[in-house]
Amino acid sequence: MDHTAKNLVIVRIDGGICSQINFFAYGHAVQNMLGERAKVKYDLSWFKENGKDYFGKFVRNWDFPKAFPDLAVEEASAEEIAATKKRRTLDFSELQSLQEISAPAYLEGYPKGCFNLPGCREVLTKNFRPALDAESAAVAAEIAEKPACAVHVRRGDLTVSSVAYGVPCSTEYFAKTIKIVRALEPRAKFYFFSDEPDYVRDELLPALPADLDSKIVGFNGSDKGYMDLALIAKCGYVIGSIGSLGVYGAFLGGGCLVTPKYSFGSLQAMDNVIYLNEDRALIALRQQQEERQRVFPGVMKIRCGKKRSLQLFGRIRIDYR
């Protein structure tokens, strides 16, 4: 088995459907780069051992084959994973270029967004053919009837600010982005996708214009995120949030994207992208301190009042992310 591992590159996959797409895209790019010199396989053990969001509330199933039924994903065995890890482990976040990758290698960590990988968009859009159930098919037919805008409202484990993802999008953010889309297309109907549809119904929609033509698509749940992704991709306009579902929907469907600028990587491969950043200076210092305390318990106590140390802490926090 150790001899077999010499020619293997194994990509560890975790997370929701968009993370799965991103990891596959990098594995596909590595396979194209290395050709016959290596075989790319995937470590799917996370879905058997964990398969939940950060809070352990929403499931994260291995849904990639349901969204891309014609793209082959070969799973690495436990023996292959162990042997390859023993030989060499690389962290995606530390790589400056894919050229640093050669077999054998076990790739863990989190790469940047795959949007600019050569040939990535063509492969993904060509093979994105999820089968929709009756409810989703009915919404898809409705979306096709008139101009539509998908609004992704990421809640769940990103309800609070995150070192990796940033500050949750506010009600004002959605009000501004909706105003932009209505200026571009006054006839648009807005379809809201969220892991917390009750929040959209009870808190977000009441704060938006009363004449907004809207619909909450809340029946799929986290176990059918790939169906929501398919519906978002069918919309001509997409409003993203700090999660990735809206961005990947626009990436796969070609719709005009309005999004905060966040850390998923450059979107240069996409046309019609509008960035709307909220003023981070308005975020309370206390909120930033609470977030640091949550991620690095005990650190704030020894660093408080030392400006130079706090600056160093900030750099360490970025490197850690």
pLDDT at 300: 43
What's the average model confidence in pLDDT over 29-53? 88
pLDDT at 102: 95
Rounded to a whole number, what is the largest CA-CA distance in the chain?
A: 66
- CATH C-level class of 130-280: alpha beta
When pLDDT is cut at 50, 70 and 90, the band that residue 306 belongs to is: very low
pLDDT at 56: 52
**What does the domain layout of the chain look like in residue ranges?**
2-124, 130-280, 284-320
When pLDDT is cut at 50, 70 and 90, the band that residue 159 belongs to is: low
Long-range contacts of 289-292 (CB under 8 A, 24+ apart): 291/160, 291/161, 291/162, 291/163, 292/317
When pLDDT is cut at 50, 70 and 90, the band that residue 272 belongs to is: confident
Give the rounded percent of residues in the chain with a pLDDT score beyond 90: 59
Q: Where are the alpha helices (DSSP H) in the chain?
A: 2-5, 17-34, 45-49, 64-67, 78-87, 120-127, 134-143, 171-184, 197-199, 225-233, 245-253, 285-295, 299-303, 307-320
What's the average model confidence in pLDDT over 158-180? 76
- Amino acid identity for residue 14 in this structure: D
**123-150: per-residue pLDDT in tens?**
999 999 999 999 999 999 999 999 999 9
More confident residue, 255 or 284: 255
Handedness of CA 72, 78, 81, 83 (dihedral sign): negative
More confident residue, 92 or 279: 92
Structure tokens at 87: 């030989």
Mean of pLDDT over the chain? 83
Q: In what order do the strands lie in the sheet containing 89-91?
A: 39-43, 8-12, 105-108, 89-91
What's the average model confidence in pLDDT over 30-36? 95
Structure tokens at 226: 């790939």
Structure tokens at 114: 């795959």
**210-238: per-residue pLDDT in tens?**
999 999 998 887 788 899 999 999 999 99
